[in-house]
Structure 1
Amino acid sequence: MPSSLSSLAAEPDRLLPAEPGVRAIARNLLARVESLPIISPHGHVDAAVIEQNTPFPDPAALLVSPDHYVTRLIHASGVPLDRLRESNTSQPDSRSVWREFCTAWPLFEGTASGYWLRTQFSSVFGLAGELSAETADASYDAISAKLQEPGFRPRELFKDFNIEVLATTDDPLDTLASHKTIAEDPSFHGRVLPTFRPDAYLNIAHPNWVENVDRLIGLAGDGAGGYTGYIRALENRRRYFVERGAVSADHGVRTPLTLKLGRSEAEKLFTRARCGEWTAEDRDMFEGHMMYEMARMSVQDGLVMTMHPGSYRNHHLPSFEKFGSDTGHDIPFPVSYTEAIRPVLQDFGTAKDFHLVLFTLDETVFSRELAPLAGFYPSVYIGAPWWFLDAPDAMLRFRSAVTETAGFSRSSGFIDDTRAFCSIPARHDASRRIEASFLARLVAEHRVSEDRAHELIVDIVDSSPRRVFKL
C-alpha cells in the first residue's frame, strides 16, 4: 500500500501556515494546547455507546453508512444511497459498502471529511497506506481486527482521546438512564452530559408532533391539559434534565425567528396545530413563539440556549422517504438574525447568567450580524463554524470575520457536532491547529504579542467552552 495516507496524517505541520516564520510561531502555540483535554459541549454520540462499552460495529457501519458527510459526496458521484446505507427496503453488505467507499476515496481530497478520516486511519486505526479499490479488503480486515481489541472499546477510547466532557443530544422524554449509570460509575473518569433537544415537540410540521405533544403532556403536564399542560410539561422536563447534569438546551430551528405572542394567540395556534389545521405561517409563528418561551425558561433554569437555524432539512423528498432524515440532503439557506432575535434580546439580552449561543450556516452572518450582536449583548455568544463550515479554510474565515468586532472572548469554543465518535480527536486537533495558525499571523504582523497569543489560545480551546457552557 502506498504510504501517502500515513505521511500526510503524521505530518507535524499539517494545517499550519506555509511561511516558515509564521509556521514556527504556530508550532509553539499548538504545543501549548495540543495535550489539553477535549471539551465537547455539543455532539450526537449516543450515551448508551459509552454506558454499555460494547465493541464498535464493522468498519462500514462505524465510519461510512451513518456519516452523511461521507455518503452525500459518494452519492453525488453517481452511487445510489442504497449501496451505502440501510433503506426501508434493503440492507447493503458491509464489505460492499466499504469497497464503494475506498473506490470513491479520491473524491475526498481537499475536504474536511478527508482530513478527519486520514487522521483517524493513521492515529486511531494504525493504517499505513492510502485507501483505494485495490486495498479495500485489506483495510477492511485491518480495521475489523482493531475493532475487536479490548483496548478499542468506547470507554477505553474516551480515556485515550483525552475527553473530559462529552455532551449528547437527547429527546425531552428520554429517561437519561445511560447518563445516570455513567455518572454513578466510580471507574469512569469523565463527564457525559445530556442536552435537551425539543425540536420534535416545538415544530408543528414534524410528522409526529401531535403524538409527541400528547405523550409530553400525559407524562409531565402535572394533570393539566392543552397549552397550559404543554408549557408546564416542557418546564418540568427541562428541570429533569438539569437535575441529571444537563447544561444546555439545543434548538435545530428552521429560521432564527423569535416572537413574543400573547397567551390567547399562542393557545389558538396550539389548538389549530393539534387539529391539523395549521399553515406555513402558523408553523413559523409557533416555532418563533416557542423560541421566546425557551429563552424565558433558560433564564429561569439556567440551561444555555443554543440555536442552529438555516438548514433546509430533507431537501430530496424521495431520499427522505426511503432512507429517513440525516442522510446527506440537508442544504443550507440564507438567514438573518438582527430582527429575528430581537424579541428575545429585548427582554433577556442583559439578563443575569443567560447564555445564548447563535450558530449559522450562512457565512455572511458572522461579520454582518453575529459579531456585532455578541459585541454588545452580554448574553450572546457566537457559535463556532458548524456543519459545512467546520473545515480548515472556513474556520479561518470565521476567525477573520468575527474577531475584529467581537474579539476572542465572545465565541463558543470549538463544537465538533458529530455522531462519529472516533473522529472527535481529529476534529478538535484540526480546530487547535487553525486557531494556532490564525494567532500566529497576528503575532507575525505585530498585532498581538506572542505571550498574549499563548494566553488567548488556551482561552479559546479550554476556557471558552467551559465559560460559555457553564462547565
Structure 2
Amino acid sequence: MKQFMDDRSFLLSTQTGEELYHEAAEDLPIIDYHCHISPREIFEDRRFENIAEAWLGGDHYKWRLMRACGVDERLITGDAPARDKFQAWAETLERSIGNPVFEWSHLELKRYFGYEGVLSGKTAQEVWDLTAAKLAEADFTCREIVRQSGVRLICTTDDPADSLEWHKKLAADPSFDVQVLPAMRPDAALRIERTSAFTAYLERLGGLVGEPITSFAALKRAISARYDEAHALGCRASDHALDYVMYVPASDEEIEGIFARARAGQAPTEREALAYKTAFMQFAAGEYVRLGWAMQLHFGCRRDNNSAMLAKLGPDTGYDAVANYTPADQLAAFLNAIHERTGLPKTILYSLNPADAIVIDTVMGCFQEGPVAGKMQNGSAWWFNDHEVGMRDQLTTLANEGVLGTFIGMLTDSRSFLSYPRHEYFRRVLCGLVGEWVEAGKFPDDRDLLHRLVRDISYNNAVRYFGFDLDTVTA
C-alpha cells in the first residue's frame, strides 16, 4: 500500500513517471496565464486573518461540496464565525474521497503550512492552530505566497472598463519581481441581451475613454483604445466567456441597428443578440491579430441555474453546470470567417463539456498554420474537469488527434493565492501518463527527448506562445 499522497509517487504509477516528474518538472517555475486573483491584493500585499478567509472566501468549488453535505448556508456564505465555517469544511472534506478538491487541499496544506496529516473534523483544531501560526508570520503575505510558489508571471482577468491602476502601480514597483499582467475580458461589452447592464457599461466605458458610445463603431474605437493601453502594460491575451461559439453573420448596417435599439433600451431578439456577438467577436479577433495576442474562448457552461440563489448571492457562487450544446458547424464557420477576414489570432478553445474535446481537436486542426507551433490550442482541462481523469482524457485526446508536444499546459483559473499546487498536480498527471506510455513501449525511453517534452508542456511552450519576456528552461 502506498503512503497517502506520497511526495515520490503521488499520481505517478511507474518508475519512468516518477523520474520524469522529479528530474524534469518538479522544480520548473510557473506561468499562470489565466486566473482571477486581484492585482490590487497583490499590490497591497494582502494578509489573511485565518485559513477560512484564505480558503472559503469565494471558492465555489468548496461551497458546492458543503451544500452537498447538507451544511447550512450560514456556514458557507453567511455570517457564521470563521472557525465554525472551517469546521464545517473539514467535516465535508473527510467525506469527499475522489474529489480533486480533497487532493488540492492537502497539497496546499503540505506546501504552504508543512502539514503532513489529514484534515478532518477531528483534526480541524490542529490545522486551524497550525495555519494561524503560519499566517501570523511576517512574511506570509500574498506576494510571498506567490514567490514561494515559484511563480514567474501572472495574467489576471480585467475588463476594458477597468482603470488598470493596480497594474500600473505594480509595473512601477521594483520590489516585486513577479510579472503581473492584465488580460482583457470584454464580456460586459458582449452581453447585449442584458439591456440595462449593457447600457450602463457603455456609459462607464465611454466615460473612461472620453467619447460617448452611441454606435457600434464608437464601441470598437473604445475597445481598441483600452486594448492599446493594456498592451503597453504587457497584456498578451484576452478571454471570452461564451455559452457556445456562435456564428450568425450580419451586415454592418444591421449590427448598427441592433446596437442602436439596445442602446435605447430595446431588448434584442435571440437572433439579433447572436448576430451582434458574432460581429463583436470578429472585430475582437482582428484586434488580437493586430496586437499579437492570444484569444481564449471559454464555453460549454450553463450558468446561474438556481434562480433563487442567484437572486440571493449573485453569480459565480456555485450554481453553474456543464452545458451540452456546442455546434461544431458554427465553431468551424466562426473560425473560417475570421481566417478569411483578418487571419486567425493564436486561439485557445476551452469547453466545459469533455465530450467536446474531439470536436475541438479536429476543428482546430483545420486551422493550424506556421510560424506559431500549436497556434490553435485545446485548452487545459477546465473547472469541472481539472482532476486526474479530466486531465488525462484531455491530454490523451489531444495526443491522439494533434501534437501533444506543442500544448501550453496548465493554469489555475482560480481566485485563491494558495492554488498554485494545481500546477504540481497537472505536472504529476502529465508525467504519470507519459511514463505509462513509455513503459508500455508506445514511446521511446529517450530521456533527453522526454525531459524536453515535459519541460515544454509544463513551462516553455507558454513562454513562447504568448511571447512573454521570460527565459525558457533547458536543463
TM-score by length of 1: 0.91
> Which of 396, 404, 423 lines up with 2:392 in the alignment?
396
Report the 3-state secondary structure (helix = DSSP H, G, I; strand = E; otherwise coil) of the residue aligned with 1:414. Answer: coil
The answer to whether the 8 A contact 1:74-1:107 is kept is: no
1:72 pairs with 2:51 = no
Amino acid at match of 1:437: G
- For residues 88 and 127 of structure 2, the distance between their equivalents in structure 1, rounded to whole angstroms, comes to 13
- SS across alignment from 2:392: helix
Of 13, 32, 42, the residue aligned with 2:34 is 42
Gaps of 5+ in 1: 18-22
Structure 2 distance, partners of 1:8, 1:200, is: 45
Quote the Cα distance in structure 2 between the aligned partners of 1:450 and 1:405.
22
Q: Does residue 380 of the first structure (1) align with residue 376 of the second (2)?
A: yes
Partner of 2:455: 458
In the other structure, the counterpart of 2:220 is 231
Describe the SS at the equivalent of 2:152: strand
Which residue is 1:99 aligned to? 87
TM-score (norm 2): 0.91
Deviations 1:74-131 (A, max 9, x none): 1022223332114xxxx22211111111121223221111110011112211224322
For residues 168 and 120 of structure 2, what CA distance do their matches in structure 1 show? 43
Corresponding residue for 2:253?
264
Q: Does the 8 Å contact 2:306/2:319 carry over to 1?
A: yes
Which region of structure 1 is more displaced relative to structure 2, 122-131 or 92-101?
122-131
Q: Distance in 1 between matches of 2:405 and 2:315?
A: 35
| Structure 2 residue 423 is matched with structure 1 residue 433 | no
* CA 1:276–1:225: 2 relative to 1, 3 Å: closer
Per the alignment, in what secondary structure is the counterpart of residue 352 of structure 2?
coil
Residue 168 of structure 1: CA displacement? Answer: 0.5
Which amino acid is the alignment partner of residue 346 of structure 2?
Answer: H
Q: How far is 1:188 from its partner?
A: 1.5
Alignment partner of 1:214: what SS? helix
**1:179/1:346 CA distance change after superposition, 3 Å:** same
**Is the contact made by 1:349 and 1:380 (CA closer than 8 Å) also made in structure 2?**
no
Does 2:167 match 1:179?
yes
Aligned CA RMSD, in angstroms, stands at 2.1
Aligned partner of 2:465 among 457, 463, 468: 468
Corresponding residue for 1:322? 312
Are the structure 2 counterparts of residues 190 and 352 from structure 1 closer, same or farther at C-alpha, using a change threshold of 3 Å? farther
> Tell me, which stretches of 5 or more residues in structure 2 are unaligned?
370-374, 469-475
State the shift of 1:42 in Å.
Answer: 0.5
- Gap change, CA 1:369 and 1:249, over 3 Å in 2: closer
Once residues 281 and 428 of structure 1 are traced to their aligned partners in structure 2, the CA distance between those partners, rounded to angstroms, is 40
The answer on whether the counterparts of 1:333 and 1:362 sit within 8 Å (CA) in structure 2 is yes
**Alpha-carbon distance in structure 2 between the residues aligned to 1:407 and 1:110:** 30
Q: Is the 2:41–2:142 contact (alpha carbons within 8 Å) kept by the matching residues of 1?
A: yes
1:285 aligned to 2:280?
no
Which residue matches 1:298?
A: 288
| Number of the residue aligned with 2:107 | 119
Identity %: 26
The 1-side partners of 2:44 and 2:339 are apart by: 41
Shift of residue 359, structure 1, vs aligned partner: 0.5
| 1:144-293 correspondence runs (5 A) | 144-206=132-194, 208-220=197-209, 222=211, 225-274=214-263, 275-293=265-283
Alignment correspondent of 1:20: none
Q: CA deviation at 1:446?
A: 2.5
Residue matched to 2:98: 110
SS of residue in 1 equivalent to 2:121: coil
Supply the distance in 2 between the matched residues of 1:172 and 1:201 (Cα, whole angstroms).
9
Residue 346 of structure 1 deviates from its aligned partner by: 2.2
The separation in 2 between residues aligned to 1:265 and 1:194, in whole angstroms, is 33
The equivalent of 1:421 in structure 2 is 417
* Matched residue count: 457
Secondary structure of the equivalent of 2:418? helix
Structure-1 separation of matches of 2:5 and 2:396? 26
Relative to 1, partners in 2 of residues 1:159 and 1:460: Cα closer, same or farther, differing over 3 Å?
same
Question: What code does the residue aligned with 1:125 have?
Answer: F
Deviations 1:358-404 (A, max 9, x none): 10111122123334423642342111111111101110111111112
